[in-house]
């Protein structure tokens, strides 16, 4: 039998993920604070719910994809929330990126209510969500992970159970640390290349074919050259994620000197009012530091 899925949070990532679940043959009821997003899902073959309770009622799998720890807590524990309305035995998959300790606490609360929790943050950005090829790092029980493997397969390509509840969020924190560092260094490289008048498109092409090549270079390099930072993943969210990383590292007694530096650069970008840019917009602060603002991709003013 096809599973009925409640999908809460139909933003830049959530809506294409929910659409892919519809394409895979699941019955998907979507809820979003902005109702139009639920209507967009309905237009793609899903169902629009006007409340969380309506979305969750009777669902076999409940998915949350919202911005931050307080948002997940509100969706789960609110009067109209998941815990008050989900059927016992339902699987709860949280695709959000939140603090590992919060994920552990909410998983415990979910278990007390008879739910089967899996924290499953994703990586791959909007393109990965649209194409259904996200990397999914999952924390939870093996049996629960196996039971909803078909759900994960509909949205992701690399799907790995990395440990008990909270482990998925810990791995995602490490992912965001690496991504932010790569974006920062790519920005520095582009500013460096432009300062010497190099034909930057060709330069990034050859760099991408060597050890410097990465998904970050592939997906974000051209954005930097064109100064085009429409959000696939907003800087404000990466700022939140870097806060998770630096806090967790401090608690573990781990030094992250490069990570701390890029966290400050991300914070500076956000404080300048650019939190709505794609995280490749970190380039704007790196460019400012070299006094090169206003140049184009050929190094010309």
Contact call for residues 91 and 61 (beta carbons, < 8 A): yes
Helices within 196-293 (DSSP H only): 200-208, 215-226, 235-252, 257-269, 283-289
> Sign of the CA dihedral 186, 158, 10, 105?
negative
- Confirm if 221 and 190 have CB atoms less than 8 A apart: yes
Predicted pLDDT of residue 263:
98
pLDDT at 299 over 50: no
Catalytic (active site) residue 19: no
* Catalytic member of 19, 37, 116, 172: 172
Average pLDDT of the segment spanning 244-273: 97
Residue extent(s) of CATH 3.40.50.720 domains in the chain: 4-164
Q: What is the band of 2 on the pLDDT scale with cuts at 50, 70, 90?
A: confident
Superfamily of domain 4-164: NAD(P)-binding Rossmann-like Domain (3.40.50.720)
CATH 1.10.1040.10 location in the chain:
171-289
Q: What percent of the chain has pLDDT over 70?
A: 97
Q: In this predicted structure, what is the pLDDT of residue 300?
A: 40
Average pLDDT of span 149-177:
98
Strands 122-123 and 134-139 come out as antiparallel
- Which CATH number, 1.10.1040.10, 1.10.10.10, 1.25.40.10, 3.10.20.30, labels domain 171-289? 1.10.1040.10
């Amino acid at each position: 039998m096809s599973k009925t899925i409640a999908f809460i949070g139909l933003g830049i990532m959530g809506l294409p993920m929910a659409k892919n679940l519809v394409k895979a043959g699941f019955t998907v009821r979507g809820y979003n604070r902005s109702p139009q997003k639920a209507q967009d899902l309905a237009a793609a073959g899903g169902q629009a719910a006007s409340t969380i309770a309506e979305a969750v009622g009777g669902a076999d799998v409940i998915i949350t994809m919202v911005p931050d720890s307080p948002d997940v807590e509100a969706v789960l524990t609110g009067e109209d929330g998941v815990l008050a309305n989900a059927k016992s035995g339902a699987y709860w998959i949280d695709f959000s990126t939140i603090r590992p300790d919060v994920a552990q606490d909410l998983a415990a609360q979910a278990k007390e209510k008879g739910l089967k929790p899996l924290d499953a943050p994703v990586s791959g950005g909007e393109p990965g969500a649209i194409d259904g090829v996200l990397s999914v790092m999952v924390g939870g029980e093996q049996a629960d992970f196996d039971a909803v493997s078909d759900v994960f397969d509909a949205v992701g390509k690399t799907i790995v159970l990395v440990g008990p509840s909270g482990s998925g969020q810990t791995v995602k924190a490490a992912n965001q640390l690496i991504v932010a560092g790569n974006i920062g260094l790519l920005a520095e490289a582009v500013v460096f290349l432009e300062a010497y008048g190099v034909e930057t498109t060709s330069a990034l092409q050859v760099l991408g074919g060597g050890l410097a090549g990465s998904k970050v270079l592939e997906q974000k390099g051209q954005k930097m050259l064109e100064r085009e930072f429409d959000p696939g993943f907003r800087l404000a969210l990466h700022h939140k994620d870097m806060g998770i990383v630096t806090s967790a590292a401090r608690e573990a007694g781990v030094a992250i000197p490069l990570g701390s530096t890029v966290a400050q650069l991300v914070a500076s970008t956000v404080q300048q009012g650019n939190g709505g840019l794609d995280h490749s917009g970190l380039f704007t602060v790196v460019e400012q530091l070299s006094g090169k603002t206003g140049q184009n991709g050929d190094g010309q003013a």
